[in-house]
Structure formats: C-alpha cells, structure tokens
C-alpha cells in the first residue's frame, strides 16, 4: 500500500518553521485579519519573505503596494524599507483598511506606512515618486492599468512585482476567458511590449495557497 508523501502545504510549513519566517507580530496580523472576517488570501510567509528580500536587494526605500487587505504583506515590506523608508498601500475597502492600520501599528511599523482609501485607479496617480518597488496584489482585472499608472513614478531600476499570475495554470488555458485571467494576460502583454520595462520573467510558486506565481520586471531608463 502506497503512503502519500508530504504535500506542498507541508513543505511550506516546514520551511516557514525552519527559517523562522513568521514571528509573533506577523502571526497576530494574520489572526486579526481572520477574526475580522477578511478573506484568507494574504501572501504566505515564504512569499512575504521573498517580497522583503527583493525589496532589500533592490535597496528599496519607497514602495507602492496596490491592495492592502489586512496589512500582512505591508508589514513585510515596511520592515524591509527600514526606519527611513516608506510604504504607500492602496485599499478600496474601508473595513480592510481599518484592520490593516491596526495590524501595521501593532507590528511597530505604522509610522512608515500610509494607507490610501479608495479605488486604486483614482488614488494611484496621486502617489509621488521616485518609487523603488511596486507590488500589485489587487483585483486582477486591472493589473495592467495599475502597472501602467505606476510607471511614471518609478525610478530607473525599480522593480515591479505582480502577484497571482499563474492561477492554477489557468493563464495558459486558451479556453479560459474569465475576467481575472484576461487581466493577468493583459499585464503580461504590457510587460512584454512596453519599452519602459525590461529583464522580465515569471516565477511559478507552490505553497499553502496552491499553484500560482509572480510576474517581475525592471523599469528601464
């Protein structure tokens, strides 16, 4: 009789524990968001650690996040930019923004986080640059619009990261014409065709949230 081996979720938990990726403040933020009824769609700890690593490697001090949710990824990014850095996060839902504010404050990084409430297509043009990193993790239908709107505020060499672009493989399924998948494809086409973006790639990920991935690109001169 064959015994099933470890799952992707098991591996995710193993690395999270061995690398000490989630501390009390991050766990508290996740639990606060769940208790407040927010959807359980925040980045996994390893994914948050990847964002923070990318921000540190890029020397990021000014970060734009599109989609705050409960502030879990916001905490990771705020820690990465350090006391002299700043994260501007855009959130359309007032309840989500309220929970996120409580989470970032409780994590001790509230002074380096601004949460702008309203539709991102309206608030994003008000964000001042130069931006060092842009993380897009909101409604997928508007992925391309968010990236396009952020580019004028990005410095040369800034990193653009778009989350949830694989969607369980649906992005490559020609039969899938859903709005979310069309939004992902539009962002990929933008990154492929816009001369302001270079060194682009996509990275597939498997963690407790399943099979998904990231789109990454560097802003050119």
- The residue ranges of every structural domain in the chain are 8-219
* pLDDT given for residue 4 in this prediction: 82
- pTM metric for this prediction: 0.95
C-alpha–C-alpha distance, residues 136 and 43, integer Å = 12
pLDDT reading at 66 higher than 90: yes
> What pLDDT, on a 0 to 100 scale, did the predictor assign at position 132?
98
Confidence of residue 2 (pLDDT cuts 50, 70, 90): low
pLDDT tops 80 at residue 221: no
pLDDT tens-digit series, residues 8-17:
899 999 999 9
Domain 8-219 class in CATH: alpha beta
CB 156 within 8 A of CB 220: yes
Q: DSSP state, 153?
A: G
- What dihedral do alpha carbons 78, 140, 152, 71 form, nearest 10°? -10
Look over the chain and give the mean of its residue pLDDT values, rounded to a whole number: 96
């Amino acid at each position: 009789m064959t015994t099933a081996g470890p799952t992707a979720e098991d591996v995710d938990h193993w690395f999270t524990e061995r690398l000490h990726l989630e501390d009390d403040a991050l766990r508290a933020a996740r639990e606060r968001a769940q208790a407040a009824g927010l959807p359980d769609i925040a980045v996994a700890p390893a994914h948050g650690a990847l964002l923070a690593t990318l921000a540190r490697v890029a020397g990021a001090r000014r970060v734009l996040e599109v989609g705050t949710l409960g502030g879990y990824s916001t905490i990771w990014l705020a820690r990465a930019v350090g006391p002299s850095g700043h994260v501007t996060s855009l959130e359309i839902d007032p309840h989500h923004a309220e929970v996120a504010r409580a989470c970032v404050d409780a994590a001790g990084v509230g002074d380096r986080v601004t949460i702008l409430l309203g539709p991102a297509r309206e608030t994003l043009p008000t964000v001042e640059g130069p931006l060092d990193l842009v993380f897009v993790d909101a409604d997928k239908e508007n992925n391309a619009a968010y990236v396009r709107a952020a580019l004028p505020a990005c410095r040369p060499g800034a990193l653009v990261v778009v989350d949830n672009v694989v969607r369980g493989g649906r992005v490559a399924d020609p039969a899938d014409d859903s709005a979310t998948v069309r939004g992902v494809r539009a962002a990929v086409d933008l990154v492929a065709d816009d001369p302001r973006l270079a060194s682009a790639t996509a990275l597939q990920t498997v963690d407790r949230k399943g099979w998904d991935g990231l789109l990454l690109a560097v802003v050119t001169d």
